[in-house]
A and B are shown apart, each in its own frame.
Chain A
Amino acid sequence: MLGSIIASGLAMGAVYALIGITYNTMFATSRVMSFTAGQLGMLGGVLGSLFMLKVGLPPWLAFIATLLGCAVVGLVTELVAVRPVLKSLDQHLYVLSTLALALMIQQVTAIEWGTEPQPFPRLFNVGSGLMDEKFWLPVVACALVVLGLEYLYRRTLVGMAFLAVAEDNFAARALGLPERRLRVWSYVLAAAIGGIAGFASGQLMLAFFANGTLLNFYGFVPVALGGLGNNRGALIGGLALGLFQQAANFTVGGVFSSIAVFVLFIVVLLAVPQGLFGSATARRV
């Protein structure tokens, strides 16, 4: 029992953490929380299944194709839902535009792909039981992404440019950093991360259109817990959420576990609105 909890908890937690990182990456360069983060996770699984099972591509090619597909969605998000509203002074418009785009993605998937969960093939034939691929693949993917981002942000110029734009938009522009291009690239990067999350968890969650809304919410909880823009916080928050959720599932059952997760979420958020690891909001006058 404990083994099952840990295996599935870490796996789901890794997926939630990756979606949280997707949110954070989009937020970092645009100050926008995008509803499309969860949908990208869903697309990772759906596109993967589409390319491997329906089109018949080998897994590595399907993976690249999936990432490309998600990248396109990330581009579209930035172009259609984020860039136009950044110009306006109205703070909350981005919530609406990204919500609208997310809903459109979901509906098209539901109608074209179908509303039943479709299978997602095994990628490697390594492991079974508690060490089955569907448990270790998301965790490995998450670790790789986190390490990759660390390297990107600390060692490469592009990564540092991302951080600069995230920290102080105006100063970055004054220094001559191409702010818009960086933002576009960060959305593409975020979309790729979401796609990786979906692809790696395909066996676990199946290629199912409703995964989008599920991941939107459960992927947001690590962000709320860990503090906006804080990837480490999202990682810890995601893993903790996954373990908590699976433990609740195992002990009290599905219905009560989602109530438990949500109540915990609300309580933590009300107690610490900026997240457990986040920083307080700036002066407003």
Chain B
Amino acid sequence: MSLTRRNFVLGTSAIAGAAIIGAPRYAHAAAESLRIGWLAALTGPSSAPGIGFDRGVKFAADSLNAAGGVKGRKIEIVTRDTQGDPTKAVNATQEMINSQKVHAIWGPTNSGESLAVTPIMARAGIPNIHPCVIDTLIDTKKFPNAFRIAPSNGQWDDAVRAYCLKVLKVKKIAIIGDTTGYGVTAVKACVANFKRDGADVVYSNNIDATQTDMTPDMTRARNAGAEVIVIWSVSTGMEARLFNARAEMNWDVNFAGHPSMASGEIRGLLAKPQNWDKVYAVGYRSCSYGTDGKLPAKSQEFVDKVQGKVSLDDTLFWWVTAGYDAVNMVAQAVREGAGSSKDIIAYWNTLHPYAGYFGNYTYTAEEHNGYPTADVVMSAANSAKHGTFLLAPGYV
């Protein structure tokens, strides 16, 4: 096509139009709203948790605002879809801190992102709650502003190990993880912890989650005599393939590990529903029902509260409740008189405990990992009911 004046005019007006539509929005000083930034991975890889958290966050904000807000101030959630990309996460964090002038940030939900933005948030001193599990993210000296609402990976690891050694009573362990940042660290730590506790790690490996055939690794684990296979991965596709491989090999071995093994997406990826048997995923007391089918009273209260407003069926209970609790933690701080960032952080340091729906958190100035280890349990992965699970056999 030749370069005519018409084309040029059309081209520039298109660009100008796009620029006008997307003019930057600056935070308005008026309305005194309580702005909470939400670094959400809503699209992109591993977006299922983000979507779950998002439901809890929205529900919390809506219910608080319906009740008149916090001390007359409306809650405003500033959501940015980071797509799991650390670059976008850094940009979004800077925008939230400098342009939108948020009062606190919830998230991010992805390990790669949080590793990049934690130092930035620390530098700005902005109160931050996040559910990321990587142990090094919480450090009261380097990052006094960061609080973890979920168990750390160390706590997950403890729960899995305890189940393997004390309930299943096995000694030979195989450990498999994916090749993400999370998977690699988790496997490393897990291996070390098992060895320290006297178990025999007969096989360990990190596999690319998109590998189509899991038989090689399963075969090697079996040949090494593994009695349980511990999985640390966020990829449901990979996990489903591992379960299917186990079935094809006719191998009667237990799987234990990452909570994503209980995710609803796995159902459609299984060759046979039975392949999901004897899979135990990390769960929480607050999210587990007993053999009588009943949830703990407080959790049931939440289920009743969101009835008809939030769907729990295709997501996990802990995601929704954690998102809800995080927003309320910010609201609570402000309600108790916290005005500035420093005040919010100072208030959180005094929470022992804060009773949330996901758990009862305890924070002090020296400890920002708030989730009680005792509440981390194993669930039967195939037993999802409204996002909650049956407690694994052997628990009291």
Contacts and interface: CB of A to CB of B under 8 A. Distances in A.
A53 interface: yes
B109 to A, nearest CB: 14
Nearest to B217: A253
A129 B213 contact: no
Interface stretch (B20-28, B202-210, B281-289): B202-210
Interface size on B, as a range, is 20 to 34
Interface stretch (A35-43, A114-122, A191-199): A114-122
A132 interface: yes
A49 B79 CA distance: 32
Given A208-B210, A254-B208, A255-B179, A119 B268 contact: yes
A4 B248 contact: no
A268 interface: no
Contacts of B99: none
A261 B46 CA distance: 27
Interface residues of A, number: 31
A214 B210 CA distance: 10
Contact of A204 (B179, B212, B216, B248): B212
A254 B179 contact: yes
Nearest to A204: B212
A53 B43 contact: no
B126 interface: no
B44 A115 contact: yes
Given A117-B237, A210-B210, A253 B43 contact: no
B328 interface: no
B269 A249 contact: no
Interface string A99-125: 000000000001100111111001000
A219 B46 CA distance: 26
Interface in B186-219: 205-208, 210-213, 215-216, 219
A170 interface: no
A255 B208 contact: yes
A50 interface: no
The 4 A-B residue pairs with the shortest CB-CB distance in the complex, in nearest-first order:
A119-B268, A254-B208, A117-B237, A250-B216
Interface of B: 1, 43-48, 179, 205-208, 210-213, 215-216, 219, 236-237, 248, 265, 268-269, 271
Given A12-B212, A117-B236, A254-B179, 20 more contacts: A4-B216, A8-B215, A114-B47, A115-B44, A115-B46, A116-B45, A116-B47, A116-B237, A116-B265, A129-B248, A204-B212, A206-B269, A246-B213, A249-B211, A249-B213, A250-B216, A253-B205, A254-B208, A255-B206, A255-B208
Interface of A: 1, 4, 8, 12, 53, 84, 110-111, 114-119, 122, 128-129, 132, 204-206, 208, 210, 214, 246, 249-250, 253-255, 258
